[in-house]
Amino acid sequence: MTHTTSTRTAIITGASRGLGLALARSLAGAGWRLVLTARGAADLERAAAELDAVAIPGDVSDPAHVERLASAAPELDLLVNNASDLGPTPLPRLADLPLDAFAALLATNVTAPLALAQATLPALRAARGAIVNVTSDAATGAYEGWGGYGAGKAALEQLSNVLAAEEPDVRVWWVDPGEMNTRMLADAVGAEEAAGAADPAKVAAALHDLVSSRPASGRVTFQ
């Protein structure tokens, strides 16, 4: 990246809690300027105040919101597409997955990351920056009930794969962080089982190391 440490800028989606917030804390501690977004305005603004970051609450599936985020960071070194939608819970089998819910899943988990990449690529190319797309082992594993979510993550992985081939001036990593003790996992499997998963702060530290070391574009797993 061409900027000095003190001027590097990142956009992080889904930044009000879980992995997004943990990564924001890690990058802020290293001097990054942050533009944070999530749907919950109160939690997001609390996080931004803690980290002296810019908070832009909203839904990443809204094209106008994507434009607001890109405009807030005309010089950009890192885009982290972390926001995800789990869909209906308890997780339904594919036979029972409402198609409108599946369309909403794709809008958040596939279309929105692509839209943000498209909107920020000019700045990322100029900075020789990077994109992190947070994915899941559900993209490749056949877990009952995870078909809708997993299909979206599989699509995000292939978008990332092709984007990496098409954008030689930008690093593109699609990262399977493994199971983390987050509200999303608790919603899917219950709070008791989720409590046994990894601390998002530990995963964020590994993700920060990835961003700092800048390996070649590709799939990364922290499993």
Model confidence at 2, pLDDT cuts 50, 70, 90, reads very low
Looking at the chain, how many residues does it have?
A: 223
Residues whose CB is less than 8 angstroms from the CB of residue 168 and which lie 6 or more positions away in sequence, other chains included = none
Mean pLDDT of 80-90: 95
Place of tokens 């950009």: 76
pLDDT reported for residue 184: 87
Contact by Cβ (8 Å): 78, 20: no
Residues whose CB is less than 8 angstroms from the CB of residue 207 and which lie 6 or more positions away in sequence, other chains included = 19, 23, 26, 132, 175, 177, 222
Report pLDDT digits (tens) over 20-47.
999 999 999 999 999 999 999 999 999 9
Percent of the chain with pLDDT strictly greater than 70: 97
CA–CA distance from 14 to each of 19, 92, 184 (Å)? 8, 24, 11
Place of tokens 């699609």: 174
Q: What kind and span of H or E run contains 175?
A: strand 171-176
- Find the range with the poorest average confidence among 43-52, 65-74, 182-191, 203-212: 182-191
Contact by Cβ (8 Å): 188, 91: yes
CA–CA distance from 215 to each of 167, 181, 201, 210, 211 (Å)? 15, 27, 21, 7, 8
pTM (predicted TM-score):
0.94
Is the predicted pLDDT of residue 87 greater than 90, yes or no? yes
Does 189 or 29 have the greater pLDDT score? Answer: 29
Is 149 among the catalytic positions? yes
Task: Name the catalytic one among 146, 149, 173, 174.
Answer: 149
- Find the range with the poorest average confidence among 78-82, 88-92, 172-176, 182-186: 182-186
Place of tokens 């409402």: 98
Determine how β-strand 130-134 pairs with β-strand 78-81: parallel
- β-pair partners for 174: 133, 219
